[in-house]
Amino acid sequence: MAFDTKKPIRISTSVLWTLLLFTFLVVILGRIVWMAIPQTDEQLAGATRFKKMAKGRLNLARQQNEPVAPGQVNPPDIETLPKIEKRVREHRVSEWPLEAGRSFTQAPMLDELVRLGKLPKVEARLPDNPLVVVPPEQHGPYGGTWTRFGTGPKDVGILDDRLAYDGLVRWGPRGREVIPNLATHWEIGDEGRTFTFYLRKGVRWSDGKPFTTDDILFWYRHVLMNEELTPIVPRDFRSGRIAMSVEALDKWTIRFRFQETKGLFIQKMASGRSFEMVGYPAHHLKRFHADFINREKLEVMAREKGFDLWHKLFKDEWEWRSTTTPRLWPWLMKDPPPSRPIELERNPYYWKIDPSGNQLPYIDRITFEIYDKETINFKAINGEIGMQARHLEFRNYSLLLEHQEKGGYRVLKWIDGGAGPECLLPNLNHRDPLVRELIEDRRFRIALSHAIDRDAINEIGYFGIGEPRQISPPRSSEYYDESFSHAYIGFDPEKSNRVLDSLGLTKRDANGIRLMSDGRPLSLYIETKNQNSRELEIVASNWREVGIQAEVKELARQLWIERKRALTFDVAVWGGSAGQIPLLEPRWFVPVDTNNWNAPAYGRWYSTKGEAGERPKADIQAVQAIWAKIERTIDHKEQKRLFQTILDHNRENLWVIGMVGELPSIVVVNDSFRNVPDVAVQSWMFRTPGNTAPECYAINPPAPDRQGAWGGGE
């Protein structure tokens, strides 16, 4: 029927009011919905958590670390979420409540071994109270291979301290606190002289044998205190010359005792010392130790393996390459170098679970291929890496971003826990008396600093992303000192020239190079183990402009280290590591051992209590005395206050010269990877990526074949 447009339209009053009311309700409801839509980053993160919780059937109890029945995990379909919602937070740890029972789930690849009786059921393999790792994004799925690349076999060695970061305690993802691990808890007594750790009961080595305090006592008595295996007991395990004592109160309680207060012992344990002591399965390694086997018989065994001494055989059997030594790691060495690829495989006795009772790790295997650094970066850009930060060069940052969609990966910017990628270390112990006299003068060091064009270094070397600064703790650190960060960083060649003139360096040769008092040109070699450093070439050019003959010298790493220990260098270059918690590695701020590359002789003097090395001048002795107080107090606030005075001395004296810092640490993560946090602190002291719990990383299988990939079960 045709509609007659010429006839007037009559609308009753009731209909009109109905339409007006409907319109009003639509407007109001629309406003409510708009207000409910997450607008800020925090609101988006909250909406993401709610959506994941709803889709994954993860109720509030699970969010509070309460157990969920195994096999009921339904991971959210992350691929359906918009990219803005892919905000991955951090993992947490908790304890498995005893009332939750003993029903657990294992990886499907272990099912057949259990069925054939070659492996006990998962309940028999897990400890009485397994550590619960709460993944930051999703539970599972099981399976997959994590592909990594290294420049040599030593890169695979990070297995035992970074991919398997499993000591008594460990650092959390941001290095803010020490968290439980193989120890459920610990106690500090006698004003910081005794440290008692309570082990997780029922943990087993990868061969099924129990891990107890007997293993730690074996390490202490037969490794640490054996002069052939440990010629010098590390400072972290002694008070002066007196080594700590270790006592097992029972099979699950171990106590360390020192003669003096050991103020940093817990932090040092988290940074690596505690995974050293839990790496020696006594029942296995006794067969290779002279305290348990006839020495002549052992020497024959050593020669058969190509070693001239028994302790070399022992170390070889213990080393990460060994496929026969039991471990506590999430992955075990299956095909060591020179295999191609090098392959690791899951440990069926690993002692951690997720909140649903699923045994970790999620990932079945890790492979390593060996290439040069340039090839590794190319493979990263091509999307061939699973997850990795090691050997990725910042100069390729823009290329990595440009190709991430095509390569099927994402680029994360983790917080760099260091104080800068490169710092300049003038040799305070120089063997040339005239050069040493200059370097020891703070005015000379400040002149060198003002001569550096840090803005140019930042733009050319780091795309302008960094921040010109000294080698002070970064902004993310509780020890950050803005005044120190910005001290003497202004590019001012005129000021540098005035200061150098005031030091008596007024005479120059035909090339404009300043002459020292004996007529020799003032020259400084900048020694680095890095190749093709554009940043250091800028420094050398800047110093030449103020009359110093500066050249960059590239050396092999071992030769570089030997020259530093021999004191035969002018200016060394090294990364500003450990800035996040400088108490853990104070070497850039106070000489405490021979690893203080700018003053190795002063460090040796301190570490040997004056018996070796060289007695420092008063200013260095002052900071060493403050550091000694820090080591002898357990009070964190007092440690922080004292260290601030050390930073004040550094700001005044500028013993180490910084260039650019506050740069992110770039991490490439394949799009299939899950539970890798968007933000973490990258640092050797936190054993990154170990501090982000790689055992809970997961790999989503390619769509659409995702059904049946998770749950496993026996």
Is the per-residue pLDDT at 651 higher than 50? yes
What average pLDDT does this structure show over 358-372? Answer: 96
Q: Is the peptide bond before 97 cis (omega within 30 degrees of 0)?
A: no
Pairing type for strands 253-257 and 194-199 reads: antiparallel
Compute CA distances 288 → 278, 328, 355, 535, whole Å. Answer: 17, 19, 40, 49
Task: Tell the CATH topology of 423-661.
Answer: Dipeptide-binding Protein; domain 3 (3.10.105)
pLDDT at 43: 40
Length of the chain, please? 714
* Whether the Cβ atoms of residue 383 and residue 409 lie closer than 8 Å to each other: yes
Is the per-residue pLDDT at 521 higher than 80? yes
CA distance 140 to 56: 11
CA distance 265 to 255: 13
Alpha helices in 179-309, H assignment, sequence order:
213-219, 265-268, 274-277, 282-285, 295-304
> Roughly how many angstroms between the first and final C-alpha of the chain, as a whole number?
70
CA 675 to chain centre: 17
Compute CA distances 347 → 318, 328, 329, whole Å. Answer: 17, 8, 7
What average pLDDT does this structure show over 600-614? Answer: 93
Phi and psi dihedrals of 126, rounded to 5? -85, 155
Is the per-residue pLDDT at 253 higher than 90? yes
Per-domain boundaries in the chain:
40-80+108-160+336-409+681-714, 423-661
Lowest mean pLDDT among 19-28, 482-491, 673-682: 19-28
Is the per-residue pLDDT at 307 higher than 50? yes
Q: Which amino acid is at 699?
A: I
Compute CA distances 236 → 277, 515, 625, whole Å. Answer: 13, 46, 18
Which tens digits make up the pLDDT trace of 319-343? Answer: 999 999 999 999 999 999 999 999 9
Please report the DSSP string for 307-376 in residue order.
Answer: -SSHHHHHHHHHSTT-SSS---SSEEEEE-TTSSSEEEEE-TT--EE-TTSBBSPS--EEEEEE--HHHH
Q: Which two tokens stand for residue 113?
A: 């071994």
With 0-12 CB in 10 A as exposed, 13-18 as middle and 19+ as buried, what is 558?
exposed
Q: Specify the higher pLDDT residue, 73 or 415.
A: 415
Is the per-residue pLDDT at 671 higher than 90? yes
DSSP state of 108: G
Please report the DSSP string for 15-29 in residue order.
Answer: HHHHHHHHHHHHHHH
CA distance 283 to 175: 34
Q: Specify the higher pLDDT residue, 240 or 19.
A: 240
CA distance 274 to 234: 13
CA distance 397 to 411: 9
pLDDT at 31: 41
Give the SS3 label for residue 591: coil
Q: Which two tokens stand for residue 425?
A: 């270390």
* Whether the Cβ atoms of residue 488 and residue 654 lie closer than 8 Å to each other: yes
* Whether the Cβ atoms of residue 328 and residue 168 lie closer than 8 Å to each other: no
From 5, 685, 673, 708, select the one nearest 361 (Cα to Cα): 673
Q: How many CB atoms lie within 10 A of CB 612?
A: 11
CA distance 33 to 27: 10
Phi and psi dihedrals of 665, rounded to 5? -95, 120
Which tens digits make up the pLDDT trace of 96-112? Answer: 998 889 999 999 999 99
* Whether the Cβ atoms of residue 179 and residue 169 lie closer than 8 Å to each other: yes
Which tens digits make up the pLDDT trace of 270-297? Answer: 998 998 999 999 999 999 999 999 999 9
Residues 6+ apart with CB under 8 A from 44: 38, 84, 85, 87
pLDDT at 531: 77
Q: Which two tokens stand for residue 315?
A: 């170390």
Largest CA distance in the chain: 118
Which tens digits make up the pLDDT trace of 141-151? Answer: 999 999 999 99
With 0-12 CB in 10 A as exposed, 13-18 as middle and 19+ as buried, what is 30?
exposed
Which tens digits make up the pLDDT trace of 175-232? Answer: 889 999 999 999 999 999 999 999 999 999 999 999 999 999 999 999 999 999 999 9
Is the per-residue pLDDT at 402 higher than 90? yes
Q: Could you give the angle at which helices 618-631 and 636-653 cross, rounded to 10 degrees?
A: 160
Phi and psi dihedrals of 582, rounded to 5? -65, -15
pLDDT at 159: 82
CA distance 653 to 639: 21
Read off the pLDDT band of 87 (50, 70, 90). low
Is the per-residue pLDDT at 5 higher than 90? no
CA distance 514 to 418: 35
Give the SS3 label for residue 4: coil
